[in-house]
Every structure is written in C-alpha cells, then in structure tokens.
Amino acid sequence: MAEEQAELLAPCASRVVENGQEILRVGSTMGSGVQFPSARTPGVSRIAIVGESSGELLGRALDDLSRDGNGGRHFEVVNCARAAADLEVSARLFDEVLRYAPDAVVVVFGHNIRYQYQLGALRLHAQRLVGASCLLTALASVSPAGDDALKTMPIASRLAGFEEVLRRTAEETRSRGVRLVVSTMAANLWLPPRANNIWHDEAVGNAMRLDAEGRVDEALEGLSPPGGEPGVRSFLTGVLHARAGRSEPAREALRRALDEDPAAYRAPTAVNALIRQIAAETGALLRDTERAVEAKAPGGLPGWESFVDNCHLIPDVIRDEAVAILGLVGADAIAADDSDNPEIPAATAYSVEFPLERTISGVFESWSGGSTSPFSQGLAYAVGQWLAIDEGRTNDAVRRAIQRAENQEPGRLDVLLPIADALAHAGRMSDALRVNDRARQRDPSSSHAWRQAALFALRSGDSGAAHAYATRAIGLDPRDRAADSILRATANGAPQ
C-alpha cells in the first residue's frame, strides 16, 4: 500500500532526453502514458488535466481525439489527473502542470472530496521500511496501530479547502494567461445509498405495502418524515415518483438520497454548487457535465445508461465530454472538421444504450445488498424502463441474467428478486411470480423472497395468499416491517 501511496507523491510527468531532444513523458495510472517534445510545437495547443479518476478518463479520451492518424497530434494532452487522488494531491499536480506551459487547464474533481491521505514523506519512508523488513513487519503487527493512510473527513472542512484550491487555481491561470475549465461532477442517481436492512424500517415496510395496493401518494406521505437508515427513505421516494412519471420530485429526492448516503465515494450536491459559483465569480470556463448528462438521460434521471459505477461514465459519454471540452478551449474545429481522420467524432449527442446484462450480472451486483437494500427497487425501475423501450432485447438479457444467476450458489437471489420486482412493475405479473417462485425454491429460508411473494399477491388482489406469504416471511425474520404491515392489512382476508 505504501508504494501505491508513494506514487501519488511522485510527479505525473518527467523530462528525459532521447536522441538529443528533451521529451516530456507523462505517466498514467490507467495503462500506458504518452510522450511528446517538451518544447512547445508552434501551432499545437497543449491541454493539461488535473483531478481524480474521472479526469484521467477524460484525459485519455482527449488524447485519443488529439491524434491525426499520421503519427502526429492536433494538440497535446498532459494528463495529470490521477485515480484515487485526493484534494491535496490534485492541488499539487496543478502546480506541476503549470511548469509544462499549457494553454488550458481542465479541473475534474469532486467525488473524492471527503478523502484525505496521510501522505507525509517521512511516514511513507517508514511504511516502506516496514514492508522491506520481516522484523519491522512483525513488530508493526503487535504495535498500536497509527492513523489510517486514508481518512474520510467532514464535508464542510473539505468544501472550504476545495474552494480555496479552486480560487487559487483561477488566480494562477489568469495571471499566466492560461484558460481554466472547471467541470461539474455527474451523478449516478440510481445508485442506492449504502444500507444494512431497509425492511426493518416501519416507514419503508408500510410504504411498500401501500405501493403494492396502488396507494402511491399514501406511500410517499409515509416516507416523508426523516428516519431509518440514511438516504433510504429519500431513495425510495425518488423511485416512487419516477415510476409515477414525476421527474422533478424524483430528481429532488434522489439527489437528497445522494447527499444522505453514508458512503464517501460520491460528490454531494454542494460540490457542484461550489464549482458553478467559482466559475461565475472568477470567469473560469464551466463544463456542466452534470446537467449535460441529465439532459440526455431517460426522464432526466441519469443512471446505468450513462455510468459503469458510482461516478465513472461510459466511454461514449466521456468521448462527448472530451469534445465539449475542446469546444470550450477553442479546439472544437479539431474534432468536428477533421475529414482525414474518421476516428475523431463530431460533437453530437450520444445514443443512449441500456447495458442491461452488464447492469444486472456485473456492475450492479457489486453494489447490491440483495433485496435487503434499496437496490432492488432502483433496478426494478430501470429494467421497467428498458422493457418499455426495447422489450425484445430486454427479455433476452433478463433471461440470460436469470440463467447465470441460477447457476451460482446460493442461486443469486440478489439478482433474481430485483428482476422479479422489475417484471412486476412492468405489468408482467405472471413472469414476476415465476421468477419469485424460482427464488423461493432455490432458498426457502429467504424472508426476502417470501415478502416479495406477499407484495406480489397483494398487488394482484389476493389478500389470502398475501397473508400466507407474509406469515412465512415474518417467521423467518420477526423484524420484517413490510411483512408485519401486510399481515395487519390482510388480517380479515386470512385463511381460516
């Protein structure tokens, strides 16, 4: 770990001499780096990127756009953004790139704002000594632990530090006649907050029962008081509004869920507000990536059609962001008018794709807590959208995802149950019941599968079956508030 942290203290580029010419060699944490003459080439612009991993991906896309197809470059990219960089590392890399005489600097930072490395050079040297010595390693294992190398800091103090860095960046670039571009951070609104078990929250349990009965407004009213696990009620509020076609309140609730999420790997909304403020007050050029991605997302609610995880955009979107950056720094003609290189795309709206198989069986699983988290409801909404847009392709993807899930032990209920939810909300109740039945067969001890069956029965108007299934669920998990709510609501319809 010490070596990885030490890399964050190292310069992002170095000057070397090859064949009598000084070369600027720019490293990368995402594959091979690039190099070009250190001295500026007349007529060739130089763009520097600083920030975190999203910035490094943007820099790679810009570098792709820079190539002219004949071994030359339309412009040069000094990509000094670094995966896992914190605010202090990003600020140091900004100071470094100014030494390379850029025409423009692009700052892409925000998702890592809560993180702060303890990167003192002496501390890192000590860590390397420990790693190189069996004796020191043994002593370290029985000695009191020191501070963690990476800390999660209070957002208020980090925002103050971020503002200071941005204002200094604007002042330094302005004094040198360098254009500064600051980018807002796009948010995957369909990533649920980190949670343990949402079904032990009475408000959530009642809301899910009311939703199954078609009483959405009552469900929303029950979710409005604060409480429960952070972010969960807000996220489910967003889901219910989105399913009802209410994009604005859905966006408001999902953004609130993002801010309330205890996980520290997402930029809170205050970050983008600060970036816009600094751009307006200092004259920095603003690339409002958040709003650009929202404008192209279904319902204006960006999610897995645009992201591969919590914050990283899919390649097509990154490409279009790179083209937009070129437009801001005065190089849009490079991307739009180069007829000699068909690999360089024009600045056009990307065609939204719905990578359902990746979402269900790949990326989404890594964030899912199974049906114990809001994940199931968020995925259900997304798959319901895909079914409406491209039913044939979605059906095939769902079928393959189910097959893969059933081939894994213990049956991957964290995949089967969300798929069943999605089918139910798409109005395909017979298919939903069939998938739920598979889940219950694979794991009869899952309270989540029995609760889902109870909600499906309630949605179908079969209060007797709902009561029976809820009885099984609460027998497996006496704290299940949804099952308890269903039992109370269907007491008169219970089999005698």
**In the prediction, which pLDDT does 493 show?**
62
3-state secondary structure 148-190: CCEEECCHHHHHHHHHHHHHHHHHHHHHHCCEEEEECCCCCCC
DSSP type of residue 363: I
CB atoms within 10 A of CB 326: 25
In this prediction, residue 426 has a pLDDT band, given cuts at 50, 70 and 90, of confident
Compute the distance between CA of residue 69 and CA of residue 198 in angstroms, rounded to an integer: 54
Phi, psi at 105, each rounded to 5°: -120, 130
Partners of 117 in the β-ladder: 150
Question: Which has more confidence, 233 or 131?
Answer: 233
Location of each CATH 1.25.40.10 domain in the chain:
198-261+358-493
Q: What is the pLDDT of residue 419?
A: 77
Which residues does 92 contact at the CB level (< 8 Å), separation at least 6?
A: none
Q: Which CATH number fits domain 2-189+266-337: 3.20.20.70, 3.30.1330.10, 3.40.50.1110, 3.40.50.1980?
A: 3.40.50.1110
- What is the arithmetic mean of pLDDT over 42-52? 94
DSSP string, 176-240: HT-EEEEEPPP--TTSPPP-S-GGG-HHHHHHHHHHHTT-HHHHHHHH-S--SSTTHHHHHHHHH
Mean pLDDT of 224-253: 91
pLDDT of 162 strictly over 70: yes
Tell the residue number behind the tokens 């007050």, with chain if given: 281
311 vs 23, 154, 216, 369, 386, CA distance in Å?
Answer: 34, 20, 30, 19, 21
Mean pLDDT, rounded, for 208-224: 94
Is residue 266 within 8 Å of residue 111, measured between CB atoms?
Answer: yes
pLDDT digit string, tens, across residues 396-412: 766 666 666 566 544 56
* 355 three-state secondary structure: coil
Candidate from 90-94, 279-283, 379-383 with smallest mean pLDDT: 379-383
- Comparison of pLDDT for 417 and 131, the residue scoring more: 417
Judged against a pLDDT cut of 50, whether residue 141 lies above it is answered with: no
Q: What is the mean pLDDT of residues 448-462?
A: 94
pLDDT value of position 418: 77
User: Could you give the percent of the chain with pLDDT greater than 70?
Assistant: 74
CA distance 24 to 337: 28
Looking at domain 198-261+358-493, its CATH architecture is: Alpha Horseshoe (1.25)
Considering only residues 473 and 423, tell me which one the structure prediction assigns the higher pLDDT.
Answer: 473
Buried b (16+ CB within 10 A) or exposed e, 364-400: bbebbbbbbbbbbbbbbbbbbbbbeeeeeebbebbee
Question: How high is the pLDDT of residue 458?
Answer: 94
Per-residue model confidence as pLDDT tens digits over 58-112: 999 999 998 877 767 889 999 999 988 999 999 999 999 999 999 999 999 999 9
pLDDT at 474: 97
Residue with tokens 């899912």: 368
Measure the CA–CA gap between 454 and 490, rounded to whole angstroms: 10
Q: Residue 339 — pLDDT band, cuts 50, 70, 90?
A: very low
- The single residue listed with the structure tokens 């949670």 is 195
Residue 305: its pLDDT value, please?
77
List all residues 6 or more positions away from 352 whose beta carbon is below 8 Å from its beta carbon.
296, 297, 298, 305, 306
Amino acid identity of 71?
A: G
CA dihedral 317, 321, 323, 326 (to 10 degrees): -170
Residue ranges of the chain assigned to CATH 3.40.50.1110: 2-189+266-337
Which 8-state DSSP code applies to residue 362?
I
Q: Is the pLDDT of residue 39 over 70?
A: yes
Burial class, 265, CB count within 10 angstroms (exposed 0-12 / middle 13-18 / buried 19+): middle
* pLDDT at residue 123 is higher than 60: no
Q: In whole angstroms, give the CA distance from residue 32 to residue 465.
A: 59
pLDDT number for residue 435: 87
Q: Compute the mean pLDDT over every residue in the chain, rounded to the nearest whole number.
A: 81
Tokens of 130: 């420990």
Measured in degrees and rounded to the nearest 5, phi and psi for residue 252 equal: -60, -45
Neighbours of 219 (CB within 10 A): 22
Contact by Cβ (8 Å): 228, 201: yes
Give pLDDT, residue 422.
76
The predicted pLDDT at position 354 comes to: 41
Residue 472 and residue 450 in contact, taking contact as beta carbons nearer than 8 Å:
yes
Which of 121-130, 141-150, 178-187 has the lowest average pLDDT?
121-130
State how far Cα 166 lies from the chain centre.
Answer: 23
pTM, two decimal places: 0.83
Q: Which residue has 């930029």 as its token pair?
A: 267
